[in-house]
Amino acid sequence: MTKYEELAKILFEFSYREAMLDTPFKPRAYELASESVSALKDDIETAWRKGGIKALKDLPGIGQSIAEKIDEFFRTGKIKEYEKMHKDFPVDIWGLSRIEGLGPKHIADLYKYLKVKNLEGLEWALEQHKIRSIPRWGEKSESKLARGLKLMQHSSGRRLLGEILPFAEKIVAKLEAVKGVKRVTVAGSIRRRQETVGDIDLLATTADPKKVMDAFVSLPFVESVHERGKTRSSVRLKIGIDCDLRVVPDQVYGATLQYFTGDKRHNVLLREYALSKGFTLSEYGLFKRSHGARSAKPKLIVCKTEEEIYTRLGMNTPPPEIRVGADEIEAAQKHKLPDLIPYGSVRGDLQVQTNWTDGNSTIEDMAKAAQAAGLSYMAVTDHTKSLAFINGLDEKRLAKQGKEIDALNKSLKGFTVLKGTECDIHKDGKLDLSNEALAKLDWVGVSIHSSFSLSRAEQTKRIIKALSNPNVDCFFHPTCRLIGKREPIDYDFDEVLAAAKKFRVVLEIDCYPDRSDLNDSHVRAAVKAGVMLAIDTDAHAPEHFRFIPLGEAIARRGWATKKDILNTKSAKQLLAFLAKKRQR
């Protein structure tokens, strides 16, 4: 956020706050001032530099009292009255107001009755069907609000991989069942497992192109048809995303799949390299240029698979997840690609919430779902007491939970539940539970849920202090970003990485689709630094264990191998690893 965006946001929040308090005129005045700042940007600061408060007042939409606040903002970087307002009413008005139809009075109600402070809290309240309990709201307002939230999340145009991938897979399965079809593959950003995707790109080979196109445009998921051709069709799906299908001849399937997998930069680099080796490469195939007569046509090299293309070019095949047009082509040429962690390698989940706090199921039901998803252990990591609005655990309830876990473990076969926590990190880096309580747990995760906007230096210090506690095993969702909703918190990642290495703290790859945190580049840095990682779902419901492959994809995108990921170990190996760590 730039300085001017920050100022516009503050003025906008004042406007909403005044409206909640029913002050006449003021809301509109602040709104106008906020719009002025958004429009004028640095012109406003230039005016202030030249003529101070008086010059500000000459600008459209700015009167005396607002000019004074802007003056204070430019002089000190903050506005005292705003800080006070935010303390009394600690609500992310700006974030919530982005939802269509959610006005000042609604936001006030959400806080008054449900302590909803931000989009995350709102999502939770919707999931728990709490909205209908607010006086005068009812079920209708609840579903309207749910639609509004969805709409806002989708308005960026890009959608979460975790949301779209299951649909893409369903469509593939439907098309594979069409008579004559030989192969159907998802290409594009989905095949590369990018965290957000623009559309769904499908390729198929078939004996009967007309039949597969007919089937495609009449799929039950289709809302409307943009284009229907012999070899290419494009539709809009009901979930609000476009989907393209191309039918290609068998003998160029490799080249076409390679081309439409991308990414674009990878393709450009590969094509240049092919040229230097006497080939041309395009979506239509790999061709060998002849040295003889100029008129001689380049000769098509039949490549039914991608591997044949890369092999012909004298290199290994980089897995789609790492095709980003950086150093993967060079590594493939030198036959130095890492052995990326295979899907299905994760054996246990080290971040799981239950109905002791904000999860929706019992420990037993979560354990059964994890086992059904192919895992052999999980750590129960409910939130801690400073998250009072979700009933975070104090030392006493944590001990009680431990007893329940001991009893449950006696009845489970082939599955182990570990005692853990997602212990909140306070603003000063201290932890939310006593060391005595933490020392009794198998697995201690720590994470940040407040004071997101500390200065870079303060945030770095806070995190390193938390990681230096010898009871800490893992740093959960380390950047706190929520895709489309919250920017990552600002700190020196290299310093935190060095601290994680020094204190032997594991960093988490949180698979939850809007978190995807750490991301691919953080993972790559961690792998390089020799810091151990864990892949966790952050499950709050039994169906969330299916997110594991999304985290494995992030690990692959970050060039991680199996040995870089702690929870590819068995429960026994994991406990031995943790015991050894604590001895030091």
Binding site for ligand DGT (CB under 6 A): 188-189, 197-199, 201, 259-260, 262-264, 267-268
**Could you give the string, one character per residue 496-535, with x where binding to Ca ion holds by CB under 5 A and - elsewhere?**
----------------------------------------
Residue from 235, 20, 241, 19 nearest 110 by CA: 20
Q: Which amino acid is at 108?
A: A
Residue from 565, 547, 555, 566 nearest 519 by CA: 555
Contact in structure between 314 and 277 (CB atoms under 8 Å): yes
Query: Residue 150: CA atoms inside 13 Å, Cβ hemisphere, count?
Result: 11
**Shortest CB 361 distance to Zn ion, Å:** 17
**Shortest CB 392 distance to Zn ion, Å:** 11
Pick one of Zn ion, ligand DGT, Ca ion, none as the site partner of residue 268 (Cβ within 5 to 8 A by kind): ligand DGT
Is the dihedral angle over the CA atoms 37, 38, 39, 40 positive or is it negative?
positive
Q: Interface with Zn ion by CB under 5 A: which residues?
A: 447
Contact in structure between 448 and 489 (CB atoms under 8 Å): yes
Nearer to Zn ion, 120 or 263 (CB): 120
Q: Whole-angstrom Cα distance, residue 136 to residue 413?
A: 49
Burial label for 235, CB within 10 Å (0-12, 13-18, 19+), is buried
C-beta atoms surrounding 415 within 10 Å? 18
Nearer to Ca ion, 189 or 361 (CB): 189
**Shortest CB 469 distance to ligand DGT, Å:** 41
DSSP 193-241: T-SEES-EEEEEEES-HHHHHHHHHT-TTEEEEEEE-SSEEEEEETTS-
DSSP 139-195: HHHHHHHHHHHHHHHHTTS-EEHHHHHHHHHHHHHHHHTSTTEEEEEE-HHHHTT-S
**Shortest CB 310 distance to Ca ion, Å:** 21
Residue 195 lies near Ca ion (rule: CB under 5 A): no
**Shortest CB 239 distance to Ca ion, Å:** 15
Nearer to ligand DGT, 268 or 457 (CB): 268
Contact in structure between 507 and 536 (CB atoms under 8 Å): no
Task: Select from 92, 142, 199, 538 the one that contacts Ca ion (CB under 5 A).
Answer: 199
Nearer to ligand DGT, 262 or 551 (CB): 262
Q: Which residue has the tokens 């497992």?
A: 193
Residue 188 lies near Ca ion (rule: CB under 5 A): yes
State the residue number with the nearest CB to ligand DGT: 262
Residues in the interface with Ca ion (CB under 5 A) total 5
Nearer to ligand DGT, 34 or 196 (CB): 196
**Could you give the string, one character per residue 224-263, with x where binding to Ca ion holds by CB under 5 A and - elsewhere?**
--------------------x-------------------
**Shortest CB 135 distance to ligand DGT, Å:** 44
**Shortest CB 180 distance to Ca ion, Å:** 24
Pick one of Ca ion, ligand DGT, Zn ion, none as the site partner of residue 447 (Cβ within 5 to 8 A by kind): Zn ion
**Shortest CB 201 distance to ligand DGT, Å:** 5
Nearer to Ca ion, 199 or 514 (CB): 199
Diameter of the chain measured on Cα atoms: 86
Pick one of Zn ion, Ca ion, ligand DGT, none as the site partner of residue 262 (Cβ within 5 to 8 A by kind): ligand DGT
Q: Whole-angstrom Cα distance, residue 191 to residue 194?
A: 8
For binding to Ca ion (CB under 5 A), which residues are involved? Answer: 188-189, 199, 201, 244
